[in-house]
Amino acid sequence: MNVTRKIGCWLVLLLALNVPVFGQVQYATLRLEAMANLLSLKLEKLEVGDNEGYSYKGHPLVIRTNRWKEVEHIGYRLFSAEIRHGMPYPVYDFLERYFLELDLLTDIDKLMRLALDKVQISNTNLNVIHTFDGSEQLKVDMLPLKKYQVTWSRSGTDILTVVFDMDYQLLSGCNAIESERNLLRDLQRYQEKDGAEQALQPHHFDTEGVYWQMDDGTYILNEIRHTLYYAKNDAGEWKLICDVAHPVWSVFNLMLSQGTDHDCNLEMVVDLYGYQEKEIDIPLKKWIRFCADQGCKSYMGIKTHGDKMITGTLFIVNEKMGYNHMLTIELDKEVIARRGGAIRSRLYAYIPLHNVSDDYFKFYTKVPAVDTLK
């Protein structure tokens, strides 16, 4: 049985059993667990963070564990902490893991894997990665058509270039089913941080006005935007609007900001692969902070505005990982009046950015700007 079939068999077995193989060692993804078994890694006394002292064919590996003591990364050590912090892209774990995975395959299987994953490598001698000593210049580019290009060079000469899709399943090593399951797991154990509504200083805004808006980009259409709306209170402080007199602005503030003072929750139905679904209940502020910590930016679009109900979609975009979540909402205006209550919603998770059809964006309404009320 070749290595490729072994990986497939391990993944099927682990999906069925859903238990760790090496005693107390647990893994953030099934792929990492399969790799650890194929590498015959004896992972003992792992500390949170990077663990050294492991190797494959004499080449050093990095084994990283998260705060829940799960192994969240296995790969060749190719990138320093300085590079990771100085150029924060999600490509580093992927490349370290992917090059190691390729070394576990035969040459024929390696070529098949590269073709299936649509990964282009300029140098056929992949052992060149083991000659890197940190003196190389590294360049990471985000190309059109949602692709990454990573290039190592010395003295102006390119040594190795890798081009691959901004695709969440490729970058994470998880298929759709596992991605959705991990999202539910991560949501459940996410620890929300305390936060309170912040009064902004008057010099940020036009002190002559009563209302102000802060625009921070649009998504696909001008009607789908990240905009927060403020009003000046009697004390002269700028506060995020949340009142029935301005219901649409209030929806934007509720769904986009972490500073609005409220006690709302999402009654969420998560749409899962294979026509399955899962019902969860989560505080709205926790959801907003969770998405922000995942590196996402949210944009709100209003579909309908009736006497009692407002409907719309929150687009939660992670451009660097190549996906967006779409959260459709139905919000009763009583929720705004009480600054609390349930917002019905349905989540479609990990939609590839290149799969978002323009036809979906035909039904959003224009939101009145504050200058129309001055």
For residues 47 and 28, is the Cβ–Cβ distance under 8 A? no
- Average pLDDT rounded to a whole number, residues 208-212: 84
* Contacts (Cβ under 8 Å, ≥6 apart) of 94: 164, 170, 171, 173
* Contacts (Cβ under 8 Å, ≥6 apart) of 293: 190
For residues 227 and 221, is the Cβ–Cβ distance under 8 A? no
The number of angstroms, rounded, from the C-alpha of 328 to the middle of its chain's C-alpha atoms is: 18
DSSP string for 87-116: S--THHHHHHHHHHHHHTS-HHHHHHHHHH
| 184: three-class secondary structure by DSSP | helix
| 68: three-class secondary structure by DSSP | coil
Buried b / exposed e across 101-134, counting CB within 10 Å, b at 16+?
A: bbbbbeeebbeebbeebebebeeeeeeebeebee
Task: Give the integer Cα–Cα distance in Å for 205 and 214.
Answer: 9
pLDDT at position 360 is: 63
Q: What is the pLDDT of residues 245-294, one digit of tens each?
A: 999 999 999 999 988 889 999 999 999 999 999 999 999 999 999 999 99
Task: Give the integer Cα–Cα distance in Å for 33 and 37.
Answer: 6
pLDDT at position 203 is: 52
Binned at pLDDT 50, 70 and 90, residue 355 comes out as confident
pLDDT at 202 over 60: no
Q: Which of 316, 308, 364, 315 is nearest to 336 (CA)?
A: 308
Task: Report which secondary-structure segment, H or E, holds 318.
Answer: strand 309-318
Q: Hey, what are 86's tokens?
A: 């100085």
pLDDT at position 42 is: 87
Q: What is the mean pLDDT of the chain?
A: 88
pLDDT at position 197 is: 46
pLDDT at position 363 is: 65
The HSE-up count of residue 324 (CA atoms within 13 Å, CB side) is 21
For residues 278 and 293, is the Cβ–Cβ distance under 8 A? no
Single-letter amino acid code for the residue at 349: A
pLDDT at position 362 is: 63
Q: By 3-state DSSP, what share of the chain in percent is helix, strand and coil, each rounded to 5?
A: 30, 35, 30
Q: Which DSSP category does 200 fall into?
A: B
List, edge to edge, every strand of the sheet that includes 157-165: 120-121, 157-165, 147-154, 137-143
Task: Give the integer Cα–Cα distance in Å for 182 and 220.
Answer: 28
Q: What is the pLDDT of residues 114-130, one digit of tens each?
A: 999 999 999 989 999 99
* Contacts (Cβ under 8 Å, ≥6 apart) of 123: 159, 160, 161
Q: What is the pLDDT of residues 8-55, one digit of tens each?
A: 544 444 444 444 444 578 999 999 999 999 999 888 889 999 999 999
- Read off the pTM: 0.87
Q: What is the pLDDT of residues 176-198, one digit of tens each?
A: 999 999 999 999 999 866 554 45
Task: Give the integer Cα–Cα distance in Å for 12 and 239.
Answer: 53
Q: Which of 256, 284, 264 is nearest to 187 (CA)?
A: 284
Q: Which DSSP category does 256 fall into?
A: H
